[in-house]
Amino acid sequence: MTSPLEASKAMYAAVARGEWDVVADFMSDDLVIYEPTSLPYGGEWRGRDALQKLYAHVMTFWENPVVQWQELVGGDKYAVALLHFTVTAKSSGKRFETHIAEVTEFDDAGKMASMRIHYFDTAAMLDHLRA
């Protein structure tokens, strides 16, 4: 079985290539992604294709994303991706930067069971989204 760290590296590489069928192979059938409820795309996103659906929805609010990897660490059940994210709000044209921690939990079969997305400052994100 692949470790959470190696599975996360491979999954994020597939995301970067836009290979959503490969991404789905890393997910459990009942994957849940949790976004902060204060954001317009907040709440729970469910299913093997949840990340693809979430990404498409998030990009209706932001454009020109630049993701810089800070670190990817993992243990027996979890992997944590630390990112620096720069985007432009479509509604206001304001450029925005933030740090994100994505905490992924793996099930006993080695599939991604949940992801919790933690942004440094969601209030600032909402401010940038205001036209």
Name every residue whose Cβ is closer than 8 Å to that of residue 122 and which is 6 or more positions away in sequence. Answer: 36, 38, 39
Coil, helix or strand for 43? strand
The whole-number pLDDT of residue 106 equals 97
Return averaged pLDDT per consecutive 10 residues of the chain, 131 residues in all. 91 93 96 97 97 95 93 96 96 94 96 97 93 73
Query: How many whole angstroms separate alpha carbon 117 and alpha carbon 33?
Result: 8
User: What's the pTM?
Assistant: 0.93
Closest CA to 27 of 8, 43, 48, 46: 48
The whole-number pLDDT of residue 2 equals 84
pLDDT tens for 53-68 read 999 999 999 999 999 9
Long-range CB contact pairs, 86-93, < 8 A, 24+ = 87/62, 87/63, 88/62, 88/63, 88/64, 89/61, 89/62, 89/128, 89/129, 90/60, 90/61, 90/62, 90/63, 91/61, 91/129, 91/130, 91/131, 92/128, 92/129, 92/130, 92/131
Closest CA to 28 of 103, 117, 107: 107
